[in-house]
Structure 1
């Protein structure tokens, strides 16, 4: 039924390289499988919901991760679908393959049909993976968006203009000031984490398998340089830092009082407030007055026969009120300068004094070696 296929061949790494990608997708730590749609629809092998056959209304197939759609009352996907369909002469069908973007990389490398028009949830690590495994890109450069200039320049992560940021998280420390009888305060700097008084107090995620862990590793490289970050991690290990596999495991340990500090997101208090939790247990610290930015983007698949509908959808996502709704539901910051955030979000979410990140070019050239060197030194010893 679907319309086109990629006549690309695998790059030097080929499909075999994908088997080494941990977690299947970008991270695998907070995303769950699922699909939007009604009970009258059926699910295909990619986790998609398929609408009624024979409909003349244009159908836009939006590929994304499961958590974007699987909780209708809180996930952005169902709300976006209802709102978009109420305004435009088109329907949305979500597709949520278990392996996320790897599913499409593999299909493209084999010249198999790509049954989607837009991808939502793309990050710079995914983009690098695509470019390393495919001779031809999976996504097309996007032009003609009326709200494209509303996106914060600091969040742009694709030099070829394929990925359009739509939200971002800022990585920081979350700490519990009630720990051990009260009065606990996280250090203000990376060097402060090495002090004896914080021995065993920090939970971080494995940068090889976790997006938050990778962001924290990259922030240490920003702070200590390529020549100094491994020595810094040696010092962290000597101060009994605890490295766990993923964010959910580390945050559960933190919530259970196993340690007073965890690497997490600067929107932590938004969720804590909505859940009625004690905000004293959800204090934030931006080390060196910085937070590492992890933007998510959307992109249009090459060869889609719905390019105009795809652009309508992407422009729609960048609307101020839509940006605000996505931010609230995803508990992330909007990507644009025009979002109309509700007072509660603005009160409890915190942006860092300075956002830091690495460019696509720097990550493409160095990320694999940086993480491999960390793994050899930190895990191998």
Structure 2
């Protein structure tokens, strides 16, 4: 899910520099101090943080915007809170190729100087399992306090390595001020085919975009493996515009090129923080469903600090930490007992969860998803 995640963060920065207020899916306004003491590591990307002499050190690998988003990110807060409680230094490691970098290093028998990975997705695990040539990269998750509170259906690793720590939901964002205030998004996938909505939807390419991929998978859930290509043919006949990624699609939406865009159901959090008219940021869950994109964490099999790694994973599942991750990453907590507190009332008001979360399992996707996307791509390219 990395490409859209990075694109959303970069898009906000670029739009802000140009004086344009456009909102996004998994980011928020900058809070806290920016990370400091950045040094290059041997082939593993960037390390943020300097270990204190004599202290235990926990190296946590993640994607860059988890710690240095231009808007908001939870990494610095997590580092400060974890270090204040545990006699250890937390050092973030952000390799440019994210998970793929560690797969490549493992295949080359190179050292992996990290203890925990934060930011796993079902896509990443499938790619890992298809490309890893030797022994396991991640260990089976230890028994963790708080893991029993993870929401049903968010677990995505049948081998028990990855533990979810947050999730996002894909939805439509629509503009109720369009058509002189007469516009309203349809409530179902079939509704999008109504001629009244011709040319009104902006979507993303599932081969290059996480939001596009999730929307495609949701359509397969709705129409079945045997019916989704016919459905997309009908969408094309009704003028859907498929752009390369989230930033291009949301930019076109913000520019008034269409009144609906595939995006994230946290969109109103940004609209509220930026003082945007809420009518321009309405959320629609087609078929009363949102496609879930959970993120997980796992312990590297070669860690020499398994106890400290397990403590960190338990820390990440605490109710108050789950709330902070959700607010700062503008996502949803993975647990049922997150504690937001009154200071986060605006987040709880505007972050909309679907009546029903849907997704494909690891086993359903492995060996199928690439073929689904390739078939979709051939059909779109032929039209």
TM-score relative to the length of structure 1: 0.89
CA distance in 2, matches of 1:300, 1:80: 17
Judged with a 3 Å threshold, the aligned counterparts in structure 2 of structure 1 residues 56 and 73 are, in CA distance, closer, same or farther, namely: farther
Task: Give the match for residue 40 of structure 2.
Answer: 43
Residue 29 (1) aligns with residue 28 (2): no
**1:103 and 2:101 equivalent?**
yes
Between 1:66-75 and 1:242-251, the stretch displaced more is 66-75
Q: Do the aligned partners of residues 179 and 238 (structure 1) sit closer, same or farther apart at CA in structure 2, a change above 3 Å counting?
A: same
Give the corresponding residue for 1:347. 349
Whether 2:114 is the aligned partner of 1:116: answer: yes
Judge conservation of contact 1:270–1:345 (CA < 8 Å) in 2: yes
| Alignment partner of 1:66 is 2:64 | yes
Give the SS at the match of 1:60.
strand
Q: Hey, what does 2:375 align to over in structure 1?
A: 373
Taking the TM superposition and a 5 Å limit, the aligned residue runs for 1:323-362 are 323-341=322-340, 342-362=344-364
CA distance in 2, matches of 1:283, 1:72: 24
Q: Which of 75, 79, 104 is the equivalent residue of 2:77? A: 79
Paired residues in the alignment total: 356
| CA 367–27 in structure 1, closer or farther in 2 if over 3 Å, else same | farther
Q: Residue 251 of structure 1 corresponds to which residue in structure 2?
A: 250
Instruction: Within 5 Å, give how 1:66-215 maps onto structure 2.
Output: 66-71=64-69, 74-135=72-133, 136-215=135-214
Query: Within 1, Cα distance between the matches of 2:184 and 2:294?
Result: 28
Q: Does 1:55 align with 2:48?
A: no
Structure-1 separation of matches of 2:66 and 2:325: 10
- Provide the TM-score with structure 2 as the length reference: 0.89
Shift of 1:378: 1.2
Contact 2:3-2:210 at 8 Å conserved across structures: no
| Whole-angstrom CA distance in 1 between matches of 2:2 and 2:287 | 33
- Structure 2, unaligned stretches of length 5 or more? 11-32
Shift in CA distance, 132/171, structure 1 to aligned 2, threshold 3 Å: same
Q: What is the CA-CA distance between 1:50 and the residue it aligns to?
A: 6.1
Distance 1:291 1:264, change over 3 A: same
- Taking the aligned partners of 1:27 and 1:326, their CA distance within structure 2 comes to 15
Compared CA separation, residues 127 and 303, structure 1 to 2 (3 A): same
- Point out where structure 1 has 5 or more consecutive residues left out of the alignment: 1-22
Cα pair 1:72 1:79 within 8 Å, conserved? no
CA distance in 2, matches of 1:314, 1:24: 21
How much has 1:53 moved relative to structure 2?
A: 6.7
